[in-house]
Amino acid sequence: MPPKSPLQQLLQLPVLVAALGYFVDMYDLFLFSVVRVPSLKALGISGDQLLPEGVFLLNLQLTGLLIGGILWGILGDKRGRLSVLFGSILLYSLANIANGMVTNTTQYAVLRFVAGIGLAGELGAGITLVAEILPRHLRGYGSVLVATMGVLGGILAYFVADLFAWRMSYYVGGGLGLLLLVLRVNVFESGLYEHLKAKNIERGNFMALLINPHRLRKYALAIVVGIPLWFVVGILITFSPEFGLHAGLPAPIVAGKAVMLAFAGQSFGDVVSGLLSQRLQSRKKAIRIFLLLSFAMMAVYLLVPIHQTTTFYFLCACLGFCNGYWTLFIVMAAELFGTNLRATVATSVPNFVRGATVPLTALFVMLKPAVGLTNGALLIGTVIVAASLLALHFQEETFSKDMDYVEV
């Protein structure tokens, strides 16, 4: 049998199914941001309570992502990548369908938390599978394929939320998840994992990341590199109505529209950063360029006078694009560690980054009365970007790294 072409390798079923996991991921993250206000209003929340209730629900979902990231990551190394791809999408799908049936905010909060746990395993396990199946020279293109599916997921969520009521939008998300579950029936496990499983080597020991100084350093640096991603989403975009009001815009900013534009921009940025990484033959160089672009766009967003609402929305899209090293960042995290800890790392690291939104939001709220809205955001953004650039500098380059090794 002749060897597969690069395109055939990229389009093999496990890679496509892993990419579809990010499709569902982006659908859910975008959908909740869009339907947050109408769903809360339908449940009897109005006026000044919409923002704090929305933040509370988002924080619960992020907490679920954080807890699920650790649990699914450990399971992915102990029981296999496919166990996560099946279990996480099933839990997410059932929780999302139940989200469409809620009658009060308590039920809504519990189910967003459960949906967060379910969704936590999708991207990390998928990226781990892609990194282990594809040869080293195609792993960056694998991240581009995953990111492209994320673009389509965000676009679909926008149209579904626009065409249907919020409850039906959740039903569609749950249905998509169940359909993806069926597609995964014929997916095969990573060959590297199967080879490891045949050996008597400990797998999925989360404490092994913490008690070994070298591994802990790599793990901590990997998390710090990604924190600016969710500073942009969790503060600059989530609080875009407040920033628009502070800028004196003639019309109020709609948070859902700002989120939609930011996620769309980020998805396209993910494609560009993956291609740039392949062009430069470096993960670190591509991520560094996007970090610097992100900081420059933060400064424009916060400091340059804005007089038109359309200009503000354009900057939200640009912020999202400059935020577009998300999938590349997870690929790098997966490449940093051996097969016996790879799923644990690739699944938990992005969710620790998502979870960092909670303390960052609390810090922002605490600083706001003392230094003001803009200065508080700029201070936090400057510190975390500087920390991320420093962490990236001390992290190893992984572009050409062989994935067939273990942590001992």
Residue-wise pLDDT for 357-406, tens only, equals 878 888 888 888 889 889 999 999 999 999 999 999 999 999 988 888 88
Task: Tell whether 318 is covered by a domain.
Answer: yes
Q: Which two tokens stand for residue 399?
A: 């572009």
269-298 pLDDT, tens per residue?
A: 988 998 999 999 999 999 999 999 999 999
Quick one: DSSP state of residue 408?
Answer: -
For residue 119 the two structure tokens come to 């969704």
Q: Is 232 exposed, middle or buried (0-12, 13-18, 19+ CB in 10 A)?
A: buried
What number of other Cβ atoms are within 10 A of residue 213's Cβ? 8
Give the pLDDT score at 318.
95
User: What sign has the CA pseudo-torsion 129, 99, 106, 233?
Assistant: positive
221, pLDDT greater than 70: yes
Sorted by sequence, the CB contacts under 8 Å of residue 404 that are 6+ apart come out as: 192, 195, 339
Residue 383: predicted pLDDT: 96
Give how far Cα 68 sits from Cα of 21, 347, 349, 359, Å.
15, 9, 11, 18
The Cα angle at residue 69 between residues 353 and 192, in degrees rounded to 5? 110
Length in residues, the chain: 408
> Which position has the higher pLDDT, 162 or 228?
228
DSSP H or E segment with residue 364 = helix 357-371
Kindly state the percentage of the chain with pLDDT values over 70: 99
Task: Flag whether pLDDT at 74 surpasses 70.
Answer: yes
Query: Residue range 206-221: average pLDDT?
Result: 92
Average pLDDT value for residue range 52-77: 86
* 406: in domain: no
Residue 408 scores a pLDDT above 80 = no
| Joined tokens for residue 92 | 């997410």
pTM: 0.86
What letter represents residue 59's amino acid?
N
Kindly state whether residue 122 falls inside one of the protein's structural domains. yes
Contact 68, 117 (CB under 8 A): yes
Quick one: residue 372, left, alpha or beta (phi over 0 = left, psi -120 to 50 = alpha)?
left
Q: Which domain holds residue 317?
A: 6-394
Distance CA 176, CA 54 (A): 24
Write the CB contacts of 361 (distance below 8 Å, at least 6 apart in sequence): 55, 59, 234, 235, 238
Q: State the amino acid at position 66 in one-letter form.
A: L
pLDDT of residue 402: 87
**Average predicted confidence (pLDDT) for the chain:** 88
Half-sphere CA count of 392, side-chain side, radius 13 A: 25
The per-residue pLDDT for range 306-364, each reduced to its tens digit, is 989 999 999 999 999 999 898 899 889 989 999 899 989 988 998 889 888 878 888 88
Give DSSP secondary structure letters for 104-149: SHHHHHHHHHHHHHHHHHHHHHHHHHHHHHS-GGGHHHHHHHHHHH
Residue 264 is predicted with a pLDDT of 82
Q: Which residue has the higher pLDDT, 256 or 279?
A: 279
* Crossing angle (nearest 10°) for helices 255-280 and 283-303: 150
Q: Specify the pLDDT at position 2.
A: 64
Residue whose C-alpha is closest to residue 142's, from 155, 128, 161:
128
| CATH, residue 174 | 1.20.1250.20
In-domain check, residue 355: yes
> From CA 58, how far away is CA 109, in angstroms rounded?
9
Is the residue at 388 inside a domain? yes
Non-local (6+) Cβ contacts of 1 within 8 A are none
Number of domains in the chain: 1
Q: What is the 3-state secondary structure (H, E, C) of 3-44?
A: CCCHHHHHCCHHHHHHHHHHHHHHHHHHHHHHHHHHHHHHCC
Give me the pLDDT at residue 203, please. 87
End-to-end CA distance of the chain: 37
Residues 401/140, Cβ–Cβ less than 8 Å: no
For residues 163-190, give the mean pLDDT: 87
Residue 403 forms part of a structural domain: no
Residue 372 Cα distances to 113, 243, 246, 253, angstroms = 32, 11, 10, 19
With residues binned 3-state (H G I as helix, E B as strand, rest as coil), the percentages for the chain, rounded to 5, are: 80, 0, 20
Does residue 342 sit in helix, strand or coil? helix
Write down the residue that tokens 């070298």 correspond to. 214
Spatial separation of the C-alpha atoms in residues 162 and 151, rounded to whole Å: 17
**Does some domain include residue 1?**
no
pLDDT at 255 exceeding the cut of 80:
no
Q: Is residue 400 part of a domain?
A: no
Structural element, H or E, at residue 229:
helix 213-231
Condensed to tens digits (0 to 9), the pLDDT of residues 121-173 reads: 888 888 888 888 888 888 888 878 887 787 788 778 878 888 889 999 999 99
What pLDDT sits at residue 308?
A: 92
**pLDDT for the residue 143:** 78
Average pLDDT over residues 183-198: 81
